[in-house]
Chain A
């Protein structure tokens, strides 16, 4: 005697009449006495009928004729020439791959930016940890250039920081931390190197009174990372143990990430995840050097530093944390990060007003949101809510106009096909009224 679970496993085969006669008889007998299994079978049959009833439209003979013409052209071209893929240069292939997988490269750009930033933080920390008397000595010129370069490269927004160095430790730092940074310079664009040498001169001037004073006042043109290490961990006494820790440096960084992927829902867009990870910047620098060699043809990602810095300042980061932001240009988000961060609270506030019953106030609030983020998906959402509220208050003409606005640029791009259909349905409904 089979139980319901066993019977339901056989329903597919039973439906398709592929069971042996005895098994089919057992199933039929069970179905006659068990409503649950009979309902399950009926449901499967309904689903099957639904799926079968929705076959494709006949695309028409013209379509097939046109398609066959294209196909024949392709086959003919294939017969005449050698496969074009074999003729392309290796570089063209690389570019082709890159065009086909832009996201993969975008990810690498972001990862590289973040890792460079983290490694530069380590350099600064290791300098701070030296804590020696002011009358000791100067850094060598090449060392200064490296340090200047490292900072220039990562564009960290450090507060003016004093750091002094001791000759005995300098060698060790050089060996442990920054000697591997130099090859990176070789593979970077000329402008980077220029600015790094300028910084080097600057540093040299400031070390005249045997102190090394860092102050990065010039905001460079591009930034990968915005960092706000307002309070670095208290510098421990310079012991051999610390030196050992520096020789194999590993730091903990917090990464704040905001998903900005295409088609993300509003909740997704505002969900921020903070992850903590331990990294070894030296190993990463080596990796970046290798990647830089491979990807020299790739244009360096550029970002608006002011935006990134404003974003970093707008949030209140944990002491010593590094914030990594996906930049405007990298992911082509059209609204600035700061605007997006306060859009959600405003939106929720407007929803609260709406649910409290003050429809006209809510409409005003939603309009404000829509006008402050005109090209954002938030604007679409806010506009939709306005339309819904107008519809609720009986202003059919206003609602109709507002719905139509949703189907026009710049809001339209944010609407999914399902949403568009829904809006169209509502417009049709209102138009009938």
Chain B
């Protein structure tokens, strides 16, 4: 599981606000936390915003965490909540973020160029990533969280229910619904049927 590799000693020192400990803790969790938040939000800018907010909250509230062995769940729950908050806020101000998208695409191309892969392979991978990102981004926050926590983080249903503060039945329902939508979207997108493209344009 993510975040369980953080040394308990470091956690304890950070919790006691020892000098430098928080910086060390940030360094220990930031990459994993970025990946976790990204799996929810599927774009860099939102991830950046939530990551900063989470680390800021980590700094303020770690003192209040009594049972440090719960740290991984505590951090994940905080991140899930912040993702949901951001999503709710961005739905109110739904704006077109052209530059951001271009920037992200640029970043994708740059990053995809780093491993020694053929251009065709990297293009396919980048395309696939974009498809999946877009598909996941269409899911409502609850379904998205359930999918991410179960499929990517491999959390047990009971733990997800605890994190999302709902019943296990609700988690199963959200998982089922989310997967149903993803299947439909990904099947359509991955089919890459040229003949269906004009219709897609007119409807979108």
Contacts of A56 in B (CB 8 A): 34-35, 38-39, 44, 47
Asked if B59 contacts A51 (CB within 8 A), the reply is no
Asked if B156 contacts A47 (CB within 8 A), the reply is no
Asked if A71 contacts B111 (CB within 8 A), the reply is no
A231 on the interface (CB 8 Å rule)?
Answer: no
Question: How many Å from the CB of B141 to the closest CB on chain A?
Answer: 17
C-alpha spacing A168/B130, complex, angstroms = 75
Contacts of B186 in A (CB 8 A): 47, 50
Asked if A51 contacts B152 (CB within 8 A), the reply is yes
Contacts of A75 in B (CB 8 A): 56, 59
Asked if B108 contacts A57 (CB within 8 A), the reply is yes
Contacts of B150 in A (CB 8 A): 12
Per-residue CB proximity of A88-101 to B under 8 Å, as 1/0?
A: 00000000000001
Per-residue CB proximity of B172-197 to A under 8 Å, as 1/0?
A: 10010001001100100000000001
Which of B63-71, B77-85, B94-102 contacts its partner? Answer: B94-102
Name B97's closest neighbour in chain A (CB-CB). A417
A349 on the interface (CB 8 Å rule)?
Answer: no
Name A384's closest neighbour in chain B (CB-CB). B201
Q: Which chain A residues (6-45) contact chain B, with CB distance < 8 Å?
A: 12-13, 16, 18, 43-44
Contacts of B108 in A (CB 8 A): 57
Question: How many Å from the CB of B188 to the closest CB on chain A?
Answer: 12
Asked if B52 contacts A53 (CB within 8 A), the reply is no
A71-B52 contact, Cβ under 8 Å, with A52-B152, A54-B129, A426-B197: yes
Per-residue CB proximity of B132-174 to A under 8 Å, as 1/0?
A: 1110100000000001001110101100000000000000100
Per-residue CB proximity of B109-124 to A under 8 Å, as 1/0?
A: 0011000000000000
A55 on the interface (CB 8 Å rule)?
Answer: yes
A344 on the interface (CB 8 Å rule)?
Answer: no
C-alpha spacing A58/B39, complex, angstroms = 13
A53-B204 contact, Cβ under 8 Å, with A58-B111, A70-B52: no
Contacts of A48 in B (CB 8 A): 151
Asked if B128 contacts A71 (CB within 8 A), the reply is no
Contacts of A59 in B (CB 8 A): 34, 44, 107
Asked if A418 contacts B204 (CB within 8 A), the reply is yes
Question: How many Å from the CB of B145 to the closest CB on chain A?
Answer: 13
A412 on the interface (CB 8 Å rule)?
Answer: yes
B61 on the interface (CB 8 Å rule)?
Answer: no
Asked if A419 contacts B30 (CB within 8 A), the reply is no
Asked if A64 contacts B30 (CB within 8 A), the reply is yes
C-alpha spacing A421/B182, complex, angstroms = 20
Asked if A74 contacts B52 (CB within 8 A), the reply is yes
C-alpha spacing A55/B152, complex, angstroms = 9
C-alpha spacing A101/B91, complex, angstroms = 11
A413 on the interface (CB 8 Å rule)?
Answer: yes
C-alpha spacing A12/B174, complex, angstroms = 13
A388 on the interface (CB 8 Å rule)?
Answer: yes
Per-residue CB proximity of B38-57 to A under 8 Å, as 1/0?
A: 11000010011001100110
Give the contact-size bracket for chain A: 35 or more
Q: Which chain A residues (227-284) contact chain B, with CB distance < 8 Å?
A: 262-263, 265
Contacts of B157 in A (CB 8 A): 12-13
C-alpha spacing A71/B50, complex, angstroms = 12
Asked if A419 contacts B201 (CB within 8 A), the reply is yes
Residue in B34, B47, B183 whose beta carbon sits within 8 Å of that of A47 in the complex: B183
C-alpha spacing A263/B97, complex, angstroms = 13
Name A17's closest neighbour in chain B (CB-CB). B154
A416 on the interface (CB 8 Å rule)?
Answer: yes
A381 on the interface (CB 8 Å rule)?
Answer: yes
Contacts of A18 in B (CB 8 A): 156
Asked if A64 contacts B183 (CB within 8 A), the reply is no
Question: How many Å from the CB of B43 to the closest CB on chain A?
Answer: 9
C-alpha spacing A416/B94, complex, angstroms = 11
Contacts of A364 in B (CB 8 A): none
B203 on the interface (CB 8 Å rule)?
Answer: yes
B7 on the interface (CB 8 Å rule)?
Answer: no
Contacts of B26 in A (CB 8 A): 68, 71
A318 on the interface (CB 8 Å rule)?
Answer: no
B20 on the interface (CB 8 Å rule)?
Answer: no
C-alpha spacing A306/B197, complex, angstroms = 42
Question: How many Å from the CB of B190 to the closest CB on chain A?
Answer: 8
Asked if A71 contacts B55 (CB within 8 A), the reply is yes
Name B92's closest neighbour in chain A (CB-CB). A103
Which of B38, B56, B202 counts the most A-chain CB atoms under 10 A from its CB?
B202
C-alpha spacing A348/B200, complex, angstroms = 17
Residue in B47, B98, B133 whose beta carbon sits within 8 Å of that of A412 in the complex: B98
Residue in B47, B128, B198 whose beta carbon sits within 8 Å of that of A54 in the complex: B128
A67 on the interface (CB 8 Å rule)?
Answer: yes
B6 on the interface (CB 8 Å rule)?
Answer: no
Name B96's closest neighbour in chain A (CB-CB). A413
Task: Give 7 closest A-B pairs by Cβ, nearest first.
Answer: A54-B132, A56-B38, A57-B111, A54-B129, A419-B204, A51-B151, A48-B151
A residues contacting B by CB (< 8 A) are 12-13, 16, 18, 43-44, 47-48, 50-59, 63-64, 67-68, 70-71, 74-75, 101, 103, 262-263, 265, 381, 384-385, 388, 412-413, 415-423, 425-426
Q: A56-B34, A74-B56, A419-B201 are in contact. List 4 more A-B contacts (CB 8 A).
A: A50-B186, A57-B108, A103-B92, A415-B96
17 contacts between A and B (CB under 8 A): A12-B175, A51-B132, A51-B136, A53-B128, A54-B129, A54-B133, A55-B35, A56-B47, A59-B107, A64-B31, A68-B30, A75-B56, A381-B202, A412-B98, A416-B96, A416-B204, A417-B96
